[in-house]
Structure 1
Amino acid sequence: MSTSDTSSAASADQSLRGLLLLLATIAGVAVANIYYNQPLLDNLRQSFPGSASWVGAVPAVTQLGYAAGMLLLAPLGDRFDRRLLILLQIAAMCVALVAAAAAPTLPVLIAASLAIGVLATIAQQAVPFAAELAPPAQRGHAVGTVMSGLLLGILLARTAAGLVAEYFGWRAVFVASVAALIVLAMVVILRLPKSKPTSTLAYGKLLVSMWHLVVEHRALREASLTGAAMFAAFSIFWSVLALLLAGAPFHLGPQAAGLFGIVGAAGAMAAPLAGKFSDRRGPRAIITLSIVLVALSFVVFALSAKSMVGLVIGVIVLDVGVQAAQISNQSRIYALKPDARSRVNTVYMVAYFIGGALGSGVGAFVWPAFGWIGVSVAGLGFAALAAWNHLRLAAGREALS
């Protein structure tokens, strides 16, 4: 290879890295909006005392909105320029965030949270965009890079929301997000290239085609259920953590609950490594290990209702397990049908966030009835469901590659 060819390849690699970092930022800033409310639940309970028993609906509805947005909006990435879709959703998201910041009642906040969830699917335009830009041999690493941004957004959202709410009130959290999205939109306009649509199907047929993908690809069905169960386990912990810390013996506010996001962010660093491992060895082994880690984390949580050290250890183990499984699942489903990556991603992520909403909903029910032990047992149950679904098809590995 000549010097000029080497220089050109290095320049292309640098350009790709820059685009992947931008896509990671888009994913992280966008998805953070569906997690800002989790460390704020005690604040919301105080702001709306007449509706205090319903505050758990805020995170659950937000995640259901995200699943709906995945189903209705994310498939458009195969049909239209993803850059344009990202900009349009950012504009609409800003309107929903202003409504949340100004909400006079809890029902209004719940409605705004539903809209925020729908529009936060900006993040799910970024991930298949990365798979499109990267060469096949680097696809797992590219997806892992963007997913690390998304996962950092999920985790650090709680930290940012907790800090802002501690000093400026919970409404300021949504105002700050509007400012961040405006800055992000300016960068997208300047730096992000247009994507190439891969489908000419009409909107209705585009949606119907996802059912055919589910029927056609056994690996997609298996990955979707495993991912949903893992994210349900993840969500049941994070949706209840602020309530645990607010009571005895901790008596801590939203800032402390948010700071747990920094602890969990250590797990997000496993995302690119998981992507590289999937590129080299295949995903099944790392998914098996991930399920074991998630189950172990809930054993630790069950023993740590009064131990800050135990909670910290459990958070790290939980996040590493969930995030490594997520990357491995996505790297294999993107290889199933390259001209339908947005739709394949939609099927998977709709199931994933329905699982998240289920986890949050179960947490809202189990916490007042059975306390922290009940939450830990439910989380372990979701891990067991993931293990059953993953291992029951082990004999058919050729269908799950």
Structure 2
Amino acid sequence: MQTSNMNGISRTVIWLMAVISGLVVANNYYNQPLLALISDDLHISESAAGKISVLTQIGYALGLLLIVPLGDKFYRKKLILVDLFLVFGSLLWMTFANQLWMLYAASLLIGVTSVIPQLFIPIAAELSSDKEKSSNIGTVMSGLLLGILLSRFIGGIVGDVWGWRSMFGIAAGLMVIVWIAVYKMLPEMQPNFKGTYKELMQSVAHLAKTQPILQLASFRGAMAFGSMCALFTTLVFHMEKPPFNAGSSVVGSFGLAGAVGALAAAKVGKLQKYLDINRIILYSLCIVVGSWAFTYFAGETYWGLIIGVILVDLGVQSSHIMNQTNYFLIKSNAVNRLNTVYMVSYFIGGSLGTWLASLAWQYAQWGGVCFVGASFGLLAIVAHVVFSNKVNASQS
């Protein structure tokens, strides 16, 4: 059975996991504001550079599927330490890659290995009391979200000042510090699955087929994240053009605007005193769709894009934390496997949003991107409205 949570988990360890989550997940997003610099440096098209972002997200989905379930089978601390060594190697390869195929391969590997935050969130859920669950998940998530958002800001500035390669070199150095912190401070947890790797993966598939709450949360998460990725992947191309004519550091600084939304979202668990989970999720998804009105109608102005970015982040991250709180309440010790199903769906949604937005940009520019982003948000709302009551009734 799962480790006892009678003694809970210390705030220090929760905050450590939040900081490390941010530093590790950032590896997946440094490339977004750097795509224009990479395309200039290697003399490749914008859409060829855009594939770097898509491959990182596909890699992350693969890592979630293949590595995260191992958290139920092996000692998690050892698994995390081995994985960090692989992250370090992938970032070094990216730093020195000089051909497009190397960039693609290194990006895929960075995505595959940078899944450590998704091993932390189940630890926070498992060692927290039911009362503290959404607040502790929220804390680790806020570290994760700040990592996602600030990585774009920092990546853009470092790219402008020292060139795009230096960002990946710095990230590799940070992974050494993270390795030492995990080794010294993370508590060890007993595995709770005794079977083979094949049986482990079969049980992931079984959870995906048999848990309606998990299925609905996974679809909502995938659509919301796809909506957000549509915006951030193409923002750099939109802002290179008039009236902005902006460089990568300006585009990256939109990550700071997103951080406002993300930090506000970390407090969303407190709303559970007044509203049920389903209502909070519905309002969050409405905010996602509403954000696209600013992004489209005021998309040629800085203020319009800033409000759009704050709202899309607030909506996506609020619904994300509530989705996770929802399925972690399922009585099961397969916490890593539940999280695998949700997060794989989430990042498939993200890479789909990135890919469709790149296509939309090619054929219909900014208007096409806004159509893709708003459509993803609307699909999430429709699924939620149609199925949420039915799903909850089936579980009660």
In the superposition, the TM-score normalised over structure 1's length comes to 0.94
Given residue 136 of structure 2, which amino acid in structure 1 is its aligned partner? A
Asked whether 1:68 is paired with 2:39, we answer no
- Pairing partner for 2:233 from 228, 239, 253: 239
Q: Counterpart in 2 of 1:294?
A: 288
Query: Residue 9 of structure 2 contacts residue 127 of structure 2 at CA under 8 Å; is this kept in 1?
Result: no
Asked whether 1:226 is paired with 2:209, we answer no
Q: Counterpart in 2 of 1:398?
A: 393
Q: Counterpart in 1 of 2:3?
A: none
Given residue 394 of structure 2, which amino acid in structure 1 is its aligned partner? A
The Cα of 1:161 is off from its aligned counterpart by 0.4
| 1:72-151 to 2 correspondences below 5 Å | 72-151=66-145
Asked whether 1:388 is paired with 2:382, we answer yes
Q: Counterpart in 1 of 2:259?
A: 265
Instruction: Provide the C-alpha distance between the structure 1 equivalents of 2:363 and 2:12, rounded to a whole number of angstroms.
Output: 49
| 1:136-285 to 2 correspondences below 5 Å | 136-278=130-272, 281-285=275-279
Instruction: Provide the C-alpha distance between the structure 2 equivalents of 1:145 and 1:314, rounded to a whole number of angstroms.
Output: 24
Q: 4+ residue stretches of structure 1 with deviation over 3 A?
A: 12-15, 50-53, 278-282
Q: Counterpart in 2 of 1:3?
A: none
Instruction: Provide the C-alpha distance between the structure 2 equivalents of 1:58 and 1:24, rounded to a whole number of angstroms.
Output: 26
Instruction: Provide the C-alpha distance between the structure 1 equivalents of 2:337 and 2:197, rounded to a whole number of angstroms.
Output: 12
Instruction: Provide the C-alpha distance between the structure 1 equivalents of 2:331 and 2:323, rounded to a whole number of angstroms.
Output: 14
The Cα of 1:280 is off from its aligned counterpart by 6.7
Percent of residue pairs bearing the same amino acid type: 38
SS of alignment partner, residue 338 of structure 1: coil
RMSD: 1.6
Query: Residue 9 of structure 2 contacts residue 124 of structure 2 at CA under 8 Å; is this kept in 1?
Result: no
Given residue 286 of structure 2, which amino acid in structure 1 is its aligned partner? V
Q: 1:306 to 1:272 in 2, by over 3 A?
A: closer
Query: Residue 287 of structure 2 contacts residue 311 of structure 2 at CA under 8 Å; is this kept in 1?
Result: yes
Q: Which runs of 5+ in 2 are unaligned?
A: 1-5
Residues 108-155 of structure 1 show CA distances to partners (whole Å, capped at 9, x for unaligned) of 101100000000111111111111121122111111111111111111
Q: Counterpart in 1 of 2:323?
A: 329
Instruction: Provide the C-alpha distance between the structure 1 equivalents of 2:207 and 2:272, rounded to a whole number of angstroms.
Output: 22
Given residue 99 of structure 1, which amino acid in structure 2 is its aligned partner? W
Instruction: Provide the C-alpha distance between the structure 2 equivalents of 1:124 and 1:48, rounded to a whole number of angstroms.
Output: 33
Q: 1:74 to 1:322 in 2, by over 3 A?
A: same
After TM superposition, the structure 1 stretch with the greater mean CA deviation from structure 2, 129-138 or 389-398, is 389-398
The Cα of 1:180 is off from its aligned counterpart by 1.0
Instruction: Provide the C-alpha distance between the structure 1 equivalents of 2:199 and 2:320, rounded to a whole number of angstroms.
Output: 28
Residues 287-344 of structure 1 show CA distances to partners (whole Å, capped at 9, x for unaligned) of 1001100000011100122100111111111110000000000001111143100000
Query: Residue 123 of structure 1 contacts residue 150 of structure 1 at CA under 8 Å; is this kept in 2?
Result: yes
Query: Residue 231 of structure 2 contacts residue 369 of structure 2 at CA under 8 Å; is this kept in 1?
Result: yes
SS of alignment partner, residue 197 of structure 1: coil
Q: 1:224 to 1:302 in 2, by over 3 A?
A: same
Instruction: Provide the C-alpha distance between the structure 2 equivalents of 1:47 and 1:352, rounded to a whole number of angstroms.
Output: 32
Query: Residue 8 of structure 2 contacts residue 127 of structure 2 at CA under 8 Å; is this kept in 1?
Result: no
Asked whether 1:364 is paired with 2:330, we answer no
Q: Counterpart in 2 of 1:9?
A: none
Given residue 223 of structure 1, which amino acid in structure 2 is its aligned partner? A
Q: Counterpart in 2 of 1:25?
A: 19
Instruction: Provide the C-alpha distance between the structure 2 equivalents of 1:395 and 1:335, rounded to a whole number of angstroms.
Output: 16
Given residue 399 of structure 1, which amino acid in structure 2 is its aligned partner? S
Instruction: Provide the C-alpha distance between the structure 2 equivalents of 1:206 and 1:256, rounded to a whole number of angstroms.
Output: 45
- Pairing partner for 2:10 from 16, 23, 31: 16
The Cα of 1:44 is off from its aligned counterpart by 1.1
SS of alignment partner, residue 392 of structure 1: helix
Instruction: Provide the C-alpha distance between the structure 1 equivalents of 2:269 and 2:182, rounded to a whole number of angstroms.
Output: 25
Q: 1:26 to 1:399 in 2, by over 3 A?
A: farther
Q: Which runs of 5+ in 1 are unaligned?
A: 1-11
Instruction: Provide the C-alpha distance between the structure 2 equivalents of 1:315 and 1:13, rounded to a whole number of angstroms.
Output: 40
Given residue 117 of structure 2, which amino acid in structure 1 is its aligned partner? A
Instruction: Provide the C-alpha distance between the structure 2 equivalents of 1:146 and 1:110, rounded to a whole number of angstroms.
Output: 30
After TM superposition, the structure 1 stretch with the greater mean CA deviation from structure 2, 235-244 or 129-138, is 129-138
SS of alignment partner, residue 114 of structure 2: helix
- Pairing partner for 2:369 from 367, 375, 384: 375
Query: Residue 264 of structure 2 contacts residue 314 of structure 2 at CA under 8 Å; is this kept in 1?
Result: yes
After TM superposition, the structure 1 stretch with the greater mean CA deviation from structure 2, 316-325 or 43-52, is 43-52
SS of alignment partner, residue 339 of structure 1: coil
Residues 172-202 of structure 1 show CA distances to partners (whole Å, capped at 9, x for unaligned) of 0100101111111111111111122111121
After TM superposition, the structure 1 stretch with the greater mean CA deviation from structure 2, 136-145 or 265-274, is 265-274
SS of alignment partner, residue 80 of structure 1: coil
